[in-house]
Amino acid sequence: MSVNQAPFPRTRFRRTRASAPLRNLVRESSLSVHDLIWPVFVCAGTNERQTIGSMPGVERLSVDLLVAAAREAAGLGIPAICIFPYTDPALKTELCEEAWNPDNLSNRAISAIRDAGIDIAIMTDIALDPYNINGHDGIVRDGVIVNDETVEALVKMGLAQARAGADILGPSDMMDGRIGALRAMLEDEGHPNVTIMSYAAKFASAFYGPFRDAVGASGALKGDKKTYQIDPLNAREALRCVERDLSEGADMVMVKPGMPYLDLCRQVKDRFGAPTFAYQVSGEYAMIEAAAQNNWVDGEKVMLESLMSFRRAGCDGVLTYFAPRVAKILND
Ligand code: PBG
């Protein structure tokens, strides 16, 4: 046998795959409970739990039950919870005034979790869709979603959330200029340490369908959101949105949806280095759950692998409806 010419490949990747200890040693990324943000739906009433047809395993909870769920999540080590309200259709108007009612469902949920002294960061959603008779994220005038007037409404909404005790404001509306306006408001109103996680790279996606059922916006929505959310074919535009939102004062940025947009996760993290999150949205959740319930895939393994993909792609964390389930597995 020649010295230089080994009969077998010198590089055998299977050597470091051969045992669990070696696999543990060479693993490049990790998934921990600290990477999870749990989106939750809150509804009116007490001791009320409502199923959501298109999101099996996810429920809307009344504030009292949500407080208990937040306590459990904190106990599992989940660092943040993100609150979405199911708003009574009677409270929806053209101007969306309920959005900045200090006593609206979302603000009551924030204060209740805060007052219970639970050690979990509270994230909010800033967009008018739960309160809009048109189902849009912005105010509609003559069929047009008006930008600047919407931003003024969003600032009022954000202020009410900060006053209720929110730690992370999550503008998901995609109006131009809202991050700068929210940051200025937080400084002026004495909330300099409230953080903003901008839904910066948010695409006009069909994967949001089940969420719109969950918050009761499906019936209301007239048309689509293409005049404000990003075209799924545009990556460079998404990167420019991230750059703009960071320059306006966002502390963290988000890519949404998640799995179909992993290329953006990687590019955003590499290019800007800012805390970067992905939202594994309702449609992604529903697809995995539907396949799992039919035993077409191993639900638990697919859930974990889907979340690992975000970490591999450079994300610091993931908003996922699987958060408590995956936290229990990771803690075992
Ligand atoms: C509202 C909002 C949406 C989601 C989060 N915030 C829906 C939308 O933009 O239509 C989607 C979340 C999900 O699908 O899980 N602006």
**Assign residue 274 a region: left if phi > 0, alpha if psi is -120 to 50, beta otherwise?**
beta
Average pLDDT of the chain to the nearest whole number: 96
Enter the pTM of the model. 0.96
Q: What is d(CA 322, CA 325) in angstroms, rounded to the nearest whole number? A: 5
> Residues with Cβ within 6 A of ligand 1?
125, 127, 129, 137, 172-173, 208, 211-212, 225, 281-282
Using CB atoms within 10 Å of the CB of residue 23, give its burial: 0 to 12 exposed, 13 to 18 middle, 19+ buried: exposed
- Amino acid occupying residue 3: V
Q: Where do the domains of the chain lie?
A: 31-331
Of the candidate CATH numbers 3.20.20.70, 3.40.50.300, 3.40.50.280, 3.40.50.2300, the domain formed by 31-331 belongs to 3.20.20.70
**Residues β-bridged to residue 277:** 254, 317
The answer to whether residue 2 scores a pLDDT higher than 70 is: no
pLDDT per residue as tens digits for the range 64-112:
999 999 999 999 999 999 999 999 999 999 999 999 999 999 999 999 9
CA distances from 38 to 27, 33, 47, 325 (A): 26, 11, 20, 10
Q: What is d(CA 182, CA 180) in angstroms, rounded to the nearest whole number? A: 6
State the distance from the centre of ligand 1 to the C-alpha of 83, rounded, in angstroms: 12
Name which residue sits closest to atom 12 of ligand 1, judged by CA.
Answer: 281
Yes or no: say if 162 and 169 are a contact pair by the CB < 8 Å rule: yes
Q: What is d(CA 255, CA 247) in angstroms, rounded to the nearest whole number? A: 17
Using CB atoms within 10 Å of the CB of residue 151, give its burial: 0 to 12 exposed, 13 to 18 middle, 19+ buried: buried
**Hey, which residues are catalytic here?**
202, 256
The answer to whether residue 221 scores a pLDDT higher than 90 is: no
Q: What is d(CA 208, CA 130) in angstroms, rounded to the nearest whole number? A: 14
Name which residue sits closest to atom 11 of ligand 1, judged by CA.
Answer: 208
State the distance from the centre of ligand 1 to the C-alpha of 96, rounded, in angstroms: 17
Given the cut 0.90, state whether the ipTM is greater than it.
yes
Q: Which mutation among 55, 128, 129 tests ligand 1's pocket best, with the greatest number of atoms within 8 A of CB? A: 129
% residues pLDDT > 90 (the chain): 93
Q: What is d(CA 71, CA 325) in angstroms, rounded to the nearest whole number? A: 15
Name which residue sits closest to atom 10 of ligand 1, judged by CA.
Answer: 208
